Amino acid sequence: MRTPFPMTPPKTRRRTGFVGLAAALSLVLTACGDDGGGSGGAEYSWRLAEVHPENYPTTVGDQKFAELVAEKSDGRITIDVYPGAQLGEESDAIEQVQLGSIELTRVSSAPMTEFASGMGLFGLPYIWDDADHMWRFLKDEDGGEKLLDGLSDAGFHGVTYMDPGARSFYTTDKAVRSPDDLKGLKIRVQESQVIIDFIEALGASPTPMDYGEVYSSLQSGLIDGAENNAPSYYSASHFEVAKNFTLDEHMRVAELLVMNRDIWDSLSADDQAIIEDAATEAAEFQRTTWDAQVDKDMAALKKEGVTITEIDDLEPWRAAARPVIDKYGDEFADYLAKIDELRE
């Protein structure tokens, strides 16, 4: 079980007067509203930021979470989901949740690495046998649960994980069949040092940027490729401008639902339980929708004429990525041992 953490000021990267004021106001309202929980408890109205569009599996998971929270709290706690990066790109949403001006966001663990270095684990390539293996780790007290706790010092409460699928490379010009084919290519990455190191180990040039900039950067030739799971590659239309998809499935970068920690701490135990239960159910629901979405999107990608390259032998990829595993081996030794222990 997760343990409550002492109140420490959140780490901030950038603070504006406006956002600071909004955060303070939000906290005052929350504190005044909390009369101890239960069905007759305080009323809350929260926002949840999401970069993906409506109907994307994580957005569906967010919506399920909001519905369940409303149901379990008899309508006292309402959560409005803002899909499609309406509240900002992922890095902005994270900062705003840290400050409390947005209460919740669903984000990838990659950009959270800057706030909680443990999240860098999910940037390590080829460490999972499959999705079930990753989920055994995510649910383990000494694995994923501990990593969620690690968000607390940076001002977040890790509510739950969601399924991230597996990420693979896609490129504009030629199809990538071996790690050598990536040499010298500019590849967009999420903001995570571990992932940057991985791309460098492959001899490519990592280019971190927001998700929302990837399409135009592929189109203009600023980058030669990127990497993501099939639902992102398809729903963000990246396939239109990068028609070669190489299924090396290098990473499973866990998806996260995070909340401002001070707001979480101010809630009654009953309300915290409502949120935990709703999140667990919503995450399970999201996971069940994932595989079907991948199948549907892969079929659509084929229809769109995307060149799909299957990788039968991952050994050359693992060998090329070895330096990054070596570099982070000590830092993540306990987690890597746990991952090994959970293989079947």
What does the binding site for ligand GTR look like in residue numbers (CB under 6 A)?
51, 58, 90, 107-108, 190, 211, 228-229, 232, 255
**Contact predicate 206/189, CB 8 Å:** yes
Q: Closer to ligand GTR at the Cβ: 68 or 256?
A: 256
The residue among 76 and 167 lying less far from ligand GTR, judged by its C-beta, is: 167
Q: Cβ 148 to ligand GTR, closest distance in Å?
A: 17
Closer residue to ligand GTR in complex, CB, 44/211: 211
Query: What does residue 94 show for φ and ψ, rounded to 5 degrees?
Result: -60, -45
φ, ψ at 149 (rounded to 5°):
-60, -35
**Computed from CA positions of residues 129, 163, 204, 220, in that sequence, does the dihedral angle turn out positive or negative?**
positive
Can you give the length of the chain in residues? Answer: 344
User: Tokens 């970068």 map to which residue?
Assistant: 253
Alpha-carbon distance of 105 to 159, in angstroms, equals 10
As measured in angstroms, the least distance from the Cβ of 90 to ligand GTR is 5
Q: Could you give the CA distance from residue 108 to residue 51 in angstroms, rounded to a whole number?
A: 10
Task: Kindly state the smallest distance separating residue 186's Cβ from ligand GTR, in Å.
Answer: 15
Is the CB of 22 or the CB of 247 nearer to ligand GTR?
247
Report d(CA 126, CA 224) in Å as an integer. Answer: 22
Residue closer to ligand GTR by CB (options 73, 228) is 228
Sorted by sequence, the CB contacts under 8 Å of residue 108 that are 6+ apart come out as 90, 164, 190, 253, 254, 255, 256
Shortest reach from residue 294's CB to ligand GTR, in Å: 12
Q: Smallest gap, in angstroms, from Cβ of residue 17 to ligand GTR?
A: 29
